[in-house]
Amino acid sequence: MSFDLKLSVQQDSQNLSSQQKKLNRLIEQIEQQKIQLEMWQKAKDEIQQYTQKTFMPVYTELHQVLFDQLEQLWNGLSNYELNKVDVRQLDDKIYALAKMLQDSKLLNQQQLKKVNELYIYYLQSAEYAQNKKSKKKKISDAEGFFNGKTYTDETEFDDVEEWSTESYRQARAQAKLKRQQEKQVQAEKLTTQSLKTVYLKIASIIHPDREQDESKKVEKTELLQQANTAYEQQDLFYLLKLQIQIEQNQSVSKKGLTADQVKFYKLALDAQSQKLQSEIDNLIDTLVWSESAKITVKKLKGKFQISDLYKQIDADTSALKQQVKWEKERLKYMGKVKELEMLLEHGVL
Distance CA 20, CA 1 (A): 24
Distance CA 302, CA 284 (A): 10
Distance CA 262, CA 23 (A): 7
Sign of torsion, CA 69 70 74 77? positive
3-state secondary structure 275-299: HHHHHHHHHHHHHCCCHHHHHHHHH
Per-residue pLDDT of the chain (349 residues), as tens digits, is: 344 445 444 455 556 677 778 888 888 888 889 899 999 999 999 999 999 999 999 999 999 999 999 999 999 888 888 888 888 899 999 999 999 999 899 999 999 999 999 999 888 887 766 766 666 655 555 555 445 544 444 444 454 455 556 566 677 777 777 776 776 676 667 667 778 888 888 888 888 888 788 888 888 888 889 889 988 888 887 888 788 778 767 655 555 567 777 777 787 788 888 888 888 888 888 888 777 777 777 777 667 888 888 998 999 999 999 999 999 999 999 988 888 888 888 888 8
Task: Please state the pTM of the whole predicted model.
Answer: 0.64
Distance CA 116, CA 102 (A): 6
Q: Smallest Cα–Cα separation from 234: which of 263, 204, 191, 265?
A: 191
Sequence-distant (≥ 6) Cβ neighbours of residue 47 within 8 angstroms: 287, 306, 309, 310, 313
Q: In this predicted structure, what is the pLDDT of residue 73?
A: 93
Q: In this predicted structure, what is the pLDDT of residue 152?
A: 47
Q: In this predicted structure, what is the pLDDT of residue 13?
A: 54
Q: In this predicted structure, what is the pLDDT of residue 48?
A: 92
